[in-house]
Structure 1
């Protein structure tokens, strides 16, 4: 929980003017969702050098504070849309795609709490931050009971507030970067090395599995929702680490890296002939020795021919593999394979 004791005024950039209490009139802000930062008065927010990473909706009936909050969030990569009108804010919370909702409830009025309830009721994945005053523990308990992700206590240092809001989305990646020793191989370099090794194996096969894939034809598209499921289930493993493949009474450890690549898979015999219906799955983790995939149904312990496009090069790799485990995770299955 935030408890930072500085003022709002410190976060205002030099030269930003608020002549009538409205938000500053600057060039349009490019948003990831295609929106502009427009407050209820129709004023456009400041431009950014880079496209925003996340989108935010800010509700505060004080136009000056609202503009300062949006400015701080924009500095760390958010695109912002602000409103000070209750009905408009509730409509935005329900009707506009966003990653973050910031709701000022310092007055603890019913209209403010109504906007907060609309923000919390948004689709899963969006984060909600409430801003309130100190000295009201009952309200804070209610806020967390509503499902708020973070509570900020005014007065606020806005730079710290913005970084805390960003951490709601980036904390796993930051931890992974901090846990990587200096001079260690980066995930991108590791993925490049792994794919280079697998491409060499693929070249050695000389296209001997092409007929298998031609026979099966198009394996179709990944099912809806599978990428979102992988992100929510597998996010703690999003950085370089170790991949364990369990074989018959044996464990082997290899450097692995996370990827989100769609792969075609066809069951084959030990002689490389088609032995079943092909399917498409998503590679989660990959190493030089094996991989973890997510699929919609259980996969028996069998031989596979696998084919996918590399991430670091626009080349297709084909390798034989063997399924060594298959475990249920919710409505999907995690499939561990060992490359032969």
Structure 2
């Protein structure tokens, strides 16, 4: 029986492409998290505060980005800006690996349909949403732990990931590790789809620019990918932000003792109740608390995340690992 070596090599190449994309996603996620964790800490502190984020409100602990940086630095030292970093790194690596590997696998499975160029943006939206849902399920417990580490002030209820996991399961059951999953999934489907969809759209626009098509330089491609990722992150985050805020509020339910020095406590019993209480107590603008640092973080993280992934992935492809 004759074996077609070309078909075997092509099949192996496609399988390696999925693996390499997953590894590139994990590495890019870890590097991005390390660089932008301080913005995540500020964003989360804003999201958990019931009082208005306003310079005019003296009763608010945090009243703006620079004031928050000063307060956190003074009360908790500079290391506080990397609170929850270990769990966040596991989250980023696991999330990035699953997301990009799933995205490439889905693209490979439907290659036989040979979709026309005009439909690739919608294809990216659908695949991105599906990949994000799987990545969210796989990494969500570390998201809960990360949020609780950030929510802590000087008093440290949790000191290690293992201790946090054990205490959450002991006090709240295994379901405690998935608190806030519903708004996260509602958010993740359009967010993941928008990320990949907008990124595909903007990168295609970049490749059509005269300068890009004439030179094809790697620097121009990487720079264009950074801009595409930046715009994709801004668009995706703005569309889905209220669900991100609800997720954070729900993740700290049952963990409010450490929040006594941060102002008014927020108690809710589910997603609908969370939304109603936010609207009643904080008005519609309350759903967008922390949007400023979130947009900066999201835009930077998406641009760095995708650009690093593409760069690492190209290195793998060139060396034929």
TM-score, normalized by length of structure 1?
Answer: 0.22
Name whichever structure is richer in strand by fraction: 1
Question: Per chain length, whose mean CA-contact separation is higher, i.e. which structure has more relative contact order (CA < 8 Å, sep 6+)?
Answer: 2
Name whichever structure is richer in helix by fraction: 2
